[in-house]
């Protein structure tokens, strides 16, 4: 027991293998059964209270809830004229849950990700082969912020 509280590393060499294995198993069981679930419960409770009572910590709360809606992404653009950097925050209020194949989408033609017309997919009018099953205004992306 003296070697467990000492800073002298040579005392650890005196521990027999059975004692070390029992000690490591006990530490593993402590962390796996008690410490990790308790810490997760405390953090989850703190997050729930901050989100619901104090109306705070929205970023942390919503990312941990894994809600399928309210998705955002950044589009970064450099102007050709003056070289200014523009950042657009594009957001979706609701993400469609049911999708169907777009009849206007054209198949990829060759290995360079070009269509039969020779155009890369990001230049196409319809780059995605999937569209929402039901069209709705809430599924349309909108610019949330612009810098």
Report yes or no: 116 and 88 within 8 Å, Cβ to Cβ. no
Report yes or no: 147 and 87 within 8 Å, Cβ to Cβ. yes
Does this model's pTM top 0.95?
no
Report yes or no: 106 and 62 within 8 Å, Cβ to Cβ. no
The pLDDT tens digits along the chain (147 residues) read 566 677 787 877 788 889 889 989 999 999 999 999 999 999 989 988 988 899 888 778 777 777 777 788 899 999 888 999 999 999 888 888 899 998 887 765 555 545 556 677 777 777 788 889 988 888 888 888 888
Residues 105-124 as b or e (16 or more Cβ within 10 Å = b) = beeeeeeeeebeeeeeeeee
**At CB < 8 A and 24+ separation, what contacts does 36-45 make?**
none
């Amino acid at each position: 027991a003296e070697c467990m509280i000492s800073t002298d590393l040579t005392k650890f060499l005196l521990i027999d293998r059975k004692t070390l294995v029992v000690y490591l198993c006990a530490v593993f069981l402590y962390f796996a059964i008690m410490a990790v679930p308790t810490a997760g419960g405390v953090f989850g409770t703190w997050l729930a209270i901050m989100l619901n009572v104090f109306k705070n910590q929205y970023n942390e709360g919503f990312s941990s809830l894994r809600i399928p809606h309210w998705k955002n992404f950044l589009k970064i653009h450099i102007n050709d004229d003056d070289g200014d950097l523009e950042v657009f925050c594009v957001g979706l209020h609701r993400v469609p849950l049911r999708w169907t194949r777009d009849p206007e989408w054209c198949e990829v033609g060759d290995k360079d990700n070009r269509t039969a017309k020779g155009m890369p997919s990001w230049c196409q009018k319809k780059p995605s082969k999937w569209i929402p099953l039901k069209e709705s205004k809430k599924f349309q992306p909108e610019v949330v912020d612009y810098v």
